[in-house]
Amino acid sequence: MTEGLPRPWRVAIDWIVTIVGALAIVLAVKAWVVNPYRIPSSSMEPTLHCSGPSNGCLARFSDRVLANRFSLHFREPRRREVIVFDTPPQAQASCGAGGTFVKRLIVLPGERWRMENGFVYVNGKRLDERYVQDSRRGADTREEERVPAGHFVMLGDNRTQSCDSRTWGSVPRANLIGNVFAVYWPPNRISLSVSAALVVLGVVVPVRRRRRRGAGSSTRFR
């Protein structure tokens, strides 16, 4: 297309097209595949760190994480996944903050759940939550309720410092943005969920086909 133009023009147009194309790819990836987020509070400690020293933060630098915006278009969210989501309107009124939160998905649509002295019970059975430290569990007690269809209960791992579904209710499926699959900053905190990374790369199907029953599980995100 630029064959008949002087060489300086061809070089300039080539650079412009390259830069615009690169920006378009970055924006497309950010919008539909992977997006970075920063952890601003201690609600997910000690799984995800925020910068101290106040409010229960354990680190000098807040964790920077990557969320897979792609996978939840093709599968349902799973219990215990760390999810980025848009909060319901009640969050702003109840917690003084709204927008995009990062919490752990605890209860699925249609399930019954309650809390006794900080422990979560789903359909009558106590949930194994090894990611919650005893000192951060709290002593909440809630009567049993059923999660509406198409909604999810999201709780922080640091229950004593988390404003979550206990306060502003369940989250609609449409509000879920993506699952956190990696910490990329600071360097000493870098970690990766292998299974989620494979989904991003588009090779999860052949991997699953080759997996035999009883084979070891992949490395999981903290």
Report which of 36, 152, 40 is spatially closest to residue 87, judged by C-alpha positions. Answer: 152
Whether 217 is in a domain gets the answer: no
Whether 9 is in a domain gets the answer: yes
Q: How many CB atoms lie within 10 A of CB 50?
A: 23
Residues designated as active site: 43, 103
Whether 219 is in a domain gets the answer: no
Whether 218 is in a domain gets the answer: no
Show the domain range for 152: 33-210
18 & 84 share domain: no
Whether 90 is in a domain gets the answer: yes
76 & 177 share domain: yes
56 & 72 share domain: yes
Q: Is the pLDDT of residue 200 over 60?
A: no
Whether 215 is in a domain gets the answer: no
3 & 104 share domain: no
14 & 81 share domain: no
91 & 173 share domain: yes
Number of domains in the chain: 2
80 & 172 share domain: yes
73 & 171 share domain: yes
CATH of the domain at 150: 2.10.109.10
Residue of 17 and 189 predicted with greater confidence: 189
**DSSP code of residue 13:** H
10 & 54 share domain: no
Q: 22-54, pLDDT tens digit by residue?
A: 666 555 555 556 889 999 999 999 999 999 776
Q: What is the pTM of this model?
A: 0.76
CA–chain centroid gap for 54, Å, is 23
Nearest-angstrom CA–CA distance, 172 and 196: 22
120 & 191 share domain: yes
> What's residue 8's pLDDT?
75
Nearest-angstrom CA–CA distance, 14 and 137: 58
Report which of 30, 49, 40, 31 is spatially closest to residue 191, judged by C-alpha positions. Answer: 49
163 & 68 share domain: yes
Q: Is the pLDDT of residue 206 over 50?
A: no
pLDDT tier at 192, thresholds 50, 70, 90? confident
40 & 8 share domain: no
Q: Which residues contact 13 (CB under 8 A, 6 or more apart)?
A: 2, 5
The helices-and-strands tally (H runs, E runs) of the chain is 5, 12
Whether 222 is in a domain gets the answer: no
Q: Is the pLDDT of residue 100 over 60?
A: yes
